[in-house]
Structure 1
Amino acid sequence: MKKIALLSTLLLAGAAFAAAPKDTLVVQESADIPTLDPGATYDTASGSVVENIYETLLTYKGSSLRDLEPLLATKWTISNGGKTYTFDLRKNVKFHSGNPFTCADAEYTFQRNLVTNAAESGNWFLSDSLLGTPSNANDDKSITWAKINNAVQCNSQGQLVFNLPKPDPAFLAKLAFAGQSIVDKNWATKLGEWSGTEADWKNWVGKDLQGSKLNAQPSGTGAYRLVRKDANAVLAQAFDGYWGQKPAIKNVIIQKVPELAARQQAFLRGDADLIEAGTRANIEEQLKGKPGVVVVDGLPNTTATAVFMNENIKDPARLGSGKLDGQGIPANFFSDVNVRRGFAYAFNYAQYISDVLKGKGKQRTMLLPDSFPGYDPKVKTYKYDPAQAKAYFQRAWGGQLWKNGFTLNVAYRAGSVGAQTAMEILKKNIEALNPKFRVNIQAKEWSAMLNDSKAGKEPMIIIGWAPDYADPDNFMYTFYSSNGYYYPRSNWKDATVDKWLDQARVTTNTAERNRLYSLVGQRAYEQSPFVLVPAGVGLNVERSNLVGATAQTFNPMISFSYTGTFWKDLSKK
């Protein structure tokens, strides 16, 4: 314990080792970690920690995106025409608090997620499966306590039973998402979280759990327990009472280091084992070929990234004058399709592929990984064309935009070289079209950007999506539906697109689903709600003494994407 105390003091204070000890994994990244409460986990930075201190009922098998295997469950059966799922649960498992894991904990977890279902969480897709609506009880009055209580129950044999209103072929994959990790009911209720009963359920509907008491004092069944967390670092220690194989790595440190050069130098010295290494260009220019460095190339890219153009900006402070007078923009600036098309033609896609992706990337036709079913390579795409951009800007707002100009304030995630470069490309090309056009770019902390964009405050951001579960709906509905998770960031709505996406969710006919997604992609090209950022070929960089990392196995569905595996599967030689 003295050693842990020393590690905690040194690492959370920002001190570095001569080299990371053999029993300690040191990770450096630019983002902060918004939450450690599974019920609020809906970003990869949070998920990369949550999935290691908590566990789900099942998880992905090896590198497969489709095959699932038991974790806290031992087996399951599907009955009643695909509407009933019954899980046998693992015995002799303990939480970090010392409490035993039982069916009551699992029941509480999923009911808590259904009750709260806040806008910043991924519980909308669980609610969609179990209650037939992505909304919570504040927004959908058909949701009752009886409906929530019936959706997930423990039977007399101690099995966990889910009752779905209609079949959902993606349901098992949804349960493997880190945000559906099982929480410690007794621990949570003693902290003052929801009681787990009907008595106070309405008080917790839509409640933001990001800064909950469980966030500050988590208790999971995972191979690691939280020792300490502050604004700049997380320290986790291997859990002595873990039910599975004991991890070789005893301590895990995640440090927030905003400067890329500082992260790279720490990595080259061996002070850090894994880092957020920047773009492909950064890796190839600064790290590749250096002693002790392994670069793993050709990994699957299952993310999608876009520049969002918000059609209803809800923060007057971001609008400047609030008018088309050259000093600002109106709140509905992007509601004119000519503005959106102008921006889409002003982005230099080939330059981004060359400068950021070092030529190893492609311009996708849709906000869907090209390895997923439903992707249509024949959907039209925008190309960099200043003449077309100028023509659309001249049409926008009845000619007033071109005549008066505008000042636009945009944000990108602090520390993200790729996002910064994309915004700089757009800024340069937009401002070159008309001396009255001004684009101001600003770096923002990850948590602040998430929260402000969720509230519809950001005029324009660049943000990506990593899949919660391996199904095209998770991307198409998220980006394009007016009921999707990203809708508040764009406020783009198309009734026909909504209809096609709703139809795709209920059909099991693959060809028909693919046809509907193609229609959505083509309509999105016509309406241009996003600028589609080209996707790179995946690559990771790691220290050569790390065993069990990307060089050995990789699953992009695991949030800790530096290795595509869990901390417990890593060791050092």
Structure 2
Amino acid sequence: MKTKFSTLHLGLLTAMLTLGPMTLAQAKTPADQLIVGMSMVNLFSIDPANAPGLDASGVNANLYDTLIKRDQGNPEKHLPQLAERWEISEDGKQVTFHLRQDVKFHSGNPLTAEDVAWSLYRVMKLNFGLATTWKAYGYSVDNIQSLIRASDAHTLVIDLPQTMDPLLLVDSLAISPSAVVVDRKTALTHEKNGDLGAGWLVTNEAGSGPFVLTKWSANDSLLLTRFDGYWGGAAKLKRVVVRHMTESQSLRLMLERGDLDLAYGMAAPDIRAIDGSDKIQVQSLPRGTMYYVAMSMKQPEFAKTKVREAVRNLIDYQGLDQQVMPYYGKLNQQPMQLGLAARLPDPGYHMDVPQAKKLLSEAGYPEGFTTTIRTLSEPPFIDIAARLQATLAEGGIKASIVTGTGNQVYGAMRARNFEIIVARGAERYPHPYFSLRTFAYNPNNSDDAGLPNFQGWRASFFNEQINSLIDQAGVERDSARRLSLYHQAQTLYDQQVGPILMISQMTDTVVSAADVKGFTGDDAEATRYLGVYKQR
């Protein structure tokens, strides 16, 4: 009888998800379910080897586990998760992880060190953008199986292929979207033509996390169901239901009526209108990701330093910060997160149209030129792009705006096939090495290098001296020397007029009903719903 009721209940819920907003509005949210509204336009894959976006990370954080996790906001402290403990060898060339022995995947298969090693091998073998992290450490598809291996069922040994600070590797195992552990047996059951289950894992999962993926309809809805066998204890909620909603006013209306429990991506005017209500909670979550304007140096205009400098003088940083970015981000003009000791003060970029026109004339474009700006059609991206279009025009640069889905917009940048893009990205957690490596580092500027996780490579920016400074910082153990290297790299990036111009550091404003408790946003948008409940 219980099984029949559960099946019926799930059927009714699935039917409810397919109904339009007016029908859904007739019912209040169940006490044991979290109903979330957010745009899913940028959610096109949840395969851990090919899901770099923030939205995918938010889903996968509930479906999968990592060996360890970073203590919130502290880049130098890590906490046990699948690994109960770990040690670094005296020479810093080997890290050994000792895994829990009570973890099972959603399939019922036991999680072993072999699954961990295979998951990282899979990332390298498939060679999508997320492989870049491990390539930078010296791993390759040819060496990773000998360097990352299971010495027994619950012991993972990782040898470093090159000289580096081993804590950087440990940190990547805690924060990289590609570091989650995949059920090897389940994935290989769905393998086709040697793809290691890649085709199936785009819309399915093989994890051990606190929730199981029950249903996903692209740009429609997503249903996560509690995994009662979770090693960390069962979640308090039975289900998390995510509805695809792109209209901020609809999110606001449904929150006010009690038809949504939590909303991501609301526009600033709608947040202002309900902030302060005793029925609503507003939580600002600082993120490590940046909103930026990037130019492709493959384009002849932007290959010229003076043109890039002209564009830098045609961005209304202060106006954007005051009028567009409240609830979305905080002014940041450095390729490094706010609050880090290694970060230099903002260089003070500001609108200077006469200087921009002078630079364009000196570069050979006295009448300006035409170009395109790619971006998402949702706020604040489209609002930044519209402002940028207007201010570029003041200098004589006539730009048309091209919008698209996340895959279309970011896909063009990953393929190095764009002119200007307004986007958001980079390292999510605060760490100076990862910040600079993401934006300013490019070890190989050829098109076939396949390094899309380096924003510098995407923009075709290559500077050997900056590369060297970042490399040195990655292995330097003396803190004062390391700090100096970070400062030198930022200064040089400014002098070279790097093509990726920071606008703002992301602030994610999450709005929820007052009875939602236990929600603590993760600073990398890998928020777990494990401890969330409703106080009714």
TM-score in same-fold range (> 0.5) = yes
Instruction: Tell me, yes or no, if the aligned pair for 1:303 and 1:466 is still in contact at 8 Å.
Output: yes
Instruction: Give distance in 2, aligned partners of 1:442 and 1:282.
Output: 26
Q: Distance in 2 between matches of 1:84 and 1:291?
A: 53
CA distance, structure 2, for counterparts of residue 90 and residue 458 of structure 1: 46
What is the CA distance between 1:368 and its match in structure 2? 0.7
Q: 2:466 aligns with which of 497, 504, 509?
A: 497
- Aligned 8 A contact 2:320 2:384 in 1: yes
Structure 1 alignment gaps of length 5 or more: 138-143, 195-202, 313-330
Kindly indicate whether the alpha-carbon contact (under 8 Å) linking 2:287 and 2:508 is maintained by their aligned counterparts in 1.
yes
SS of the residue 1:38 aligns to: coil
Q: Distance in 2 between matches of 1:217 and 1:59?
A: 24
Q: Distance in 1 between matches of 2:489 and 2:8?
A: 58
Q: Deviations over 1:192-245 (max 9, x none)?
A: 169xxxxxxxx76xx9x8x62122331211110011111122111001222222
Q: 1:247 to 1:310 in 2, by over 3 A?
A: same
Cα deviation 1:354-409 (Å, max 9, x = unaligned): 102349975434111122242011x633211111111112222x2xx223x42222
Partner of 2:189: 190
2:373 is aligned with 1:410: yes
What SS class does the counterpart of residue 508 from structure 1 fall into? coil
Partner Cα separation in structure 1 for residue 184 and residue 382 of structure 2: 42
Q: Aligned residue for 2:448? A: none
Task: Give the AA of the match of 1:420.
Answer: I
Q: 1:352-367 to 2 correspondence within 5 Å?
A: 352-358=320-326, 363-367=331-335
Q: Secondary structure at the match of 1:424?
A: helix
Conserved 8 A contact 2:264-2:509: no
Asked whether the equivalents of residues 53 and 221 of structure 1 are also in contact (C-alpha less than 8 Å), the reply is: yes
SS in 2 for 1:549: coil
1:393 aligns to 2:360 (yes or no): yes
What is the DSSP-based 3-state SS (H/G/I as helix, E as strand, rest coil) of the residue aligned with 2:212?
strand
Cα 1:279/1:523, change in 2 over 3 Å: farther
Query: Would the alpha carbon gap of residues 478 and 358 (structure 1) be closer, same or farther in structure 2, given more than 3 Å must change?
Result: closer
**Partner amino acid for 2:190?**
L
Correspondence for 2:496 among 518, 527, 534: 527
Q: 1:353 to 1:282 in 2, by over 3 A?
A: farther
- 1:450 maps to which of 403, 410, 421: 410
Preserved contact between residue 113 and residue 153 of structure 2 (Cα < 8 Å): no
CA RMSD of aligned residues (A): 2.5
CA deviation profile, 1:486-530 (whole Å, cap 9, x unmatched): 134311222222222222222122222222222222222223222
- Is the partner of 2:202 in helix, strand or coil? helix
How many angstroms does 1:420 deviate by? 1.7
Task: Name the structure 2 match of 1:124.
Answer: 132
Give the whole-Å Cα distance in 1 for the aligned partners of 2:312 and 2:381: 16
Per the alignment, residue 154 of structure 1 pairs with 150
The 1:70/1:503 distance shift into structure 2, 3 A limit, reads same
SS at match of 1:237: strand
Match of 1:419 in 2: 381
Partner of residue 441, structure 1: 401
Q: Aligned in 2, Cα 1:466/1:571: closer, same or farther, shift over 3 Å?
A: farther
Whether the 8 Å CA contact 2:70–2:77 is kept in 1: the answer is: yes
Residue ranges of structure 2 left out of the alignment (5+ in a row): 1-6, 444-452
CA contact (8 A) 1:408 1:438 kept: yes
Structure 2 counterpart of 1:429, one-letter code: T
SS at structure 2 position matched to 1:86: strand
Contact 2:286 2:506 in 1 (8 A): no
Q: Tell me, what secondary structure is at the counterpart of 1:346?
A: coil
TM-score (norm 1): 0.83
Q: Report the Cα offset of residue 541 of structure 1.
A: 2.4
CA distance in 1, matches of 2:155, 2:510: 40
Which residue of 346, 351, 374 corresponds with 2:342? 374
Measure, in 2, the Cα distance between the counterparts of 1:113 and 1:433: 45
In 1: Cα distance, 2:505 partner to 2:144 partner: 40
Structure 2 contact 215–223 (Cα < 8 Å) conserved: yes
- Report the AA paired with residue 408 of structure 1: T
Cα distance in 2 for partners of 1:11, 1:222 equals: 23
Larger mean Cα displacement after TM superposition, 386-395 or 151-160: 151-160
1:384 pairs with 2:351:
yes
Is 1:47 aligned with 2:57?
Answer: yes
Once the two structures are TM-superposed, the CA of residue 347 in structure 1 deviates from its matched residue by 0.9
Letter matched to residue 540 of structure 1: V
Query: Identity of paired residues, percent?
Result: 24
Q: d(CA) in 2 for partners of 1:95 and 1:31?
A: 26
- Give 1:179's aligned residue: 178
User: 1:264 touches 1:277 (CA, 8 Å); kept in 2?
Assistant: no
Aligned residue in 1 for 2:446: none
SS of residue in 2 equivalent to 1:77: strand
Distance 1:282 1:333 in 2: 40
User: What is the CA–CA distance in structure 1 between the aligned matches of 2:116 and 2:192, rounded to whole Å?
Assistant: 15
Change (3 A) 1:47 1:361: closer
For 1:234 and 1:538, locate their aligned partners in 2 and report how far apart those are by CA, in whole Å.
Answer: 21
Q: How many residues align?
A: 511
Letter in 2 for 1:125: T
Work out whether 1:110 is the aligned partner of 2:125: no
- Name the structure 2 match of 1:326: none
Q: Contact between 2:112 and 2:153, CA under 8 Å: does it hold in 1?
A: no
Deviation at 1:537, TM superposition (A): 5.9
Distance 1:572 1:276 in 2: 18
Residue aligned with 1:335, SS: coil
- Quick check: 517-526 or 45-54, which moved more? 517-526
* Structure-2 change in CA distance of 1:24 and 1:466 (3 Å): farther
- Rounded to whole Å, the distance in 2 between the matches of 1:355 and 1:468 is 25
Does the CA contact (< 8 Å) of 2:439 and 2:500 recur in 1?
Answer: no
Quickly say closer, same or farther: Cα 1:106–1:12, change in 2 above 3 A. farther
Structure 1 distance, partners of 2:328, 2:224, is 36
CA offsets, 1:287-330, max 9 Å, x none?
Answer: 21335111235x54433221000111xxxxxxxxxxxxxxxxxx
Q: Which residue of 2 aligns with 1:141?
A: none
Larger mean Cα displacement after TM superposition, 15-24 or 444-453: 15-24
Q: Take 1:386 and 1:20, find their aligned partners in 2: how far apart are those partners? A: 52
Q: Matches of residues 110-509 of structure 1 in structure 2 within 5 Å?
A: 110-118=120-128, 120-121=129-130, 123-129=131-137, 132=138, 136-137=140-141, 144=142, 147-156=143-152, 158-165=154-161, 166=163, 167-177=165-175, 178-192=177-191, 212-232=199-219, 233-284=221-272, 286-297=273-284, 299-312=285-298, 331-358=299-326, 363-377=331-345, 380-396=347-363, 398=364, 401-403=365-367, 405-415=368-378, 417-434=379-396, 437-483=397-443, 485-509=454-478
Q: CA deviation at 1:345?
A: 0.7
Structure 2 counterpart of 1:325: none
The one-letter amino acid of 1:241's match is G
The one-letter code sitting in structure 1 at the alignment partner of 2:319 is Q
Q: Distance in 1 between matches of 2:505 and 2:89?
A: 40
CA apart distance, 1:186: 0.7
Amino acid corresponding to residue 309 of structure 1 in structure 2:
M
Give the direction of change, closer, same or farther, for the CA distance of 1:241–1:462 in structure 2 (3 Å limit).
same
After TM superposition, give the deviation of residue 116 of structure 1 in Å: 2.6
Matched residues in 2 for 1:250 and 1:65: separation? 32
- 3-state SS in 1 of match to 2:490: helix
- Tell me which of 3, 24, 41 is aligned to 2:33: 24
Distance 2:136 2:506 in 1: 32
Cα pair distance change 1:287/1:359, threshold 3 Å:
closer
